[in-house]
Structure 1
Amino acid sequence: MTAQAALPAGVGLLERAINYLLGVLHEVRDGEMSARTPCTDWNLRELLGHLDESLVALQEATTGHVSLSPTDRPVADPVSALRDRACCLLSAWTNATRVDVTVGDAGLTTGIVATAGAVEVAVHGWDVARALGRRRPIPPGLAEEMLAVSPLLVSEADRPARFAVPVAVPAQAPAGDRLLAFLGRRPY
């Protein structure tokens, strides 16, 4: 697949991941912000802040450069802010025409960045649902596609700093469970 062809594929995956996240965010209530998440160092408010930073970086990618300088933007209603940012992000990616982006010092295709963003958004969407005590599996087709590319996005050098070691699950487990397990989460 060429870089030009990868852009729509990555954008489509990102759009589906954002739709999943938006469905999960619909279930968040104000009193749940201190809930623990599968990301052991973060409560729900902190996870939503991380997701916001991720969406900011993904939107920057549509301009051709991601700065990697996080900004501290505490907001009164992180769920509404994240919903708004997700919608703006979809608009930016839908109108994007670039096929390359610089992330820090690395040159990547926008298709790769959008695909990595889709994994980030969907898996953290699952983290949000889990923090709320809800079972909201990642949609099977979306999970299958992300599972296929995850070994290209997450190397052993990323473990244990950015991702925990993989968790064992049965080979016949649903794709969403296998994806989560590959990324070091306990899907059950």
Structure 2
Amino acid sequence: MRESPPTTNAGTTADPRMGGVALLGRAIDYALGCLRLVTPGDLDRPTPCDDWDLRALLAHANDSFTALAEAAAFGHVALIPPISDGHNKPNAITTAETTVTATHGPPVAGDWTLGGPVVDGGELDHVLSLRDRATSLLHAWANARDAIVSVGGCPLTAAMVCGVGAVEVTVHAWDVARSCGHHTPIPAPMAAELLPLARLFATDADRPARFALPLDTAPQASAQDRLLAYLGRDPHWTDNSR
């Protein structure tokens, strides 16, 4: 059974979609720390996303950052038919009322250039570009915090778009850290804010096409573990090949 929305001290219902730009900013800060863990030897490693190695996961993250940047810069993102990824899920912005997809195609290794040629330093230049794109999102959304964004022709508030983006950015950042063999917990207050957002935006109708089935957690599990398990991830996932 879906939990009731949280309430404020005044007793009024708090809308979990209102984390907005500030929440996305914290998610990006967390992601930047996780991206700094990536080394050349990590790119072929498995990730908590079934059938994706880290290279494919980072390409998917680039798609997500690109869509969020376009939404902030232009106030709209075109609706494009879903394209399956290694987890059989499109890169989707999902609400309880509508599901809209913003993507530039499936993950493609070597196609992460963000507005310019890749430096000769190798594949990690792509990771540096991804970190630059994440940083630029903070500035883009700071100027668009009150905007109404058209996603596939559906008007959404900036807070809603940023909220979904925060869930996507944070959980995939956790995936990156785990793939690299690091325990980098999602900050507890942020995980607590993201959990009701995930429950709002990822419904039973989205499974198993867009999200894996949720996993069971212990009653005393942390907000992070409940968030990850709700989105089909094992909170204790480990790369056993290490």
The 2-side partners of 1:78 and 1:171 are apart by: 40
2:203 is equivalent to residue 161 of structure 1: no
Correspondence for 1:100 = 148
Q: What does residue 144 of structure 1 align with? A: 192
Pairing 1:6-21 to 2, within 5 Å after superposition: 6=18, 9-21=19-31
Aligned to 1:178: 226
Q: CA-to-partner distance for each residue in 1:149-169, whole Å, 9 max, x for gaps?
A: 211110111111111111001
Q: CA deviation at 1:28?
A: 0.8
Equivalent residue number for residue 46 of structure 1: 56
* 8 Å CA contact 1:49, 1:78 repeated in 2: no
Which amino acid in structure 2 is aligned with residue 121 of structure 1? Answer: V
What is aligned with 1:36? 46
Partner of 2:84: none
Q: Normalising by structure 2, report the TM-score.
A: 0.72
Letter paired with 1:66: V
Is the Cα contact below 8 Å between 1:166 and 1:181 reproduced in 2?
Answer: yes
Once the two structures are TM-superposed, the CA of residue 74 in structure 1 deviates from its matched residue by: 3.6
| Structure 2 partner of 1:115 | 163
- Distance, in Å, in 1 between the alignment partners of 2:63 and 2:156 is 19
The correspondence for 1:70, drawn from 93, 104, 127, is: 104
CA distance in 2, matches of 1:74, 1:144: 32
Retained in 1: the 8 A contact 2:21–2:145? no
Per the alignment, do residues 175 and 92 of structure 1 end up closer, same or farther by CA in structure 2, a change over 3 Å counting? same
Once the two structures are TM-superposed, the CA of residue 98 in structure 1 deviates from its matched residue by: 4.2
TM-score when normalising by structure 1: 0.91
Alignment correspondent of 2:235: 187
Matched-pair contact (CA < 8 Å) for 1:39–1:127: yes
Q: Displacement, 1:78?
A: 2.1
Give the aligned residue type for 1:44.
L
Q: Distance in 2 between matches of 1:51 and 1:34?
A: 16
In 2, are the aligned partners of 1:64 and 1:98 still within 8 Å (CA)?
A: no
Q: Relative to structure 1, is the Cα distance of residues 97 and 142 closer, same or farther in structure 2, using a 3 angstrom cutoff?
A: closer
Aligned to 2:83: none
Q: Show structure 1 runs of 5+ residues with no match.
A: none
User: Where does residue 182 of structure 2 map in the other structure?
Assistant: 134
Given that 1:65 and 1:103 are in contact with CA atoms closer than 8 Å, whether structure 2 keeps it comes out as yes
Q: Tell me how many residue pairs correspond in the alignment.
A: 185
Q: Which amino acid aligns with 1:70?
A: H
User: Quick check: 2:32–2:131 contact (8 Å CA) kept in 1?
Assistant: yes
In structure 2, C-alpha distance between the alignment counterparts of 1:117 and 1:78, rounded to whole Å: 21
Structure possessing the higher radius of gyration over alpha carbons: 2
Q: Report the counterpart of residue 88 of structure 1 in structure 2.
A: 136
What amino acid maps onto 2:180 in structure 1? L
Q: Distance in 1 between matches of 2:216 and 2:181?
A: 22
Distance in 2 separating the partners of 1:112 and 1:127: 23
Matched residue type, 2:138: L
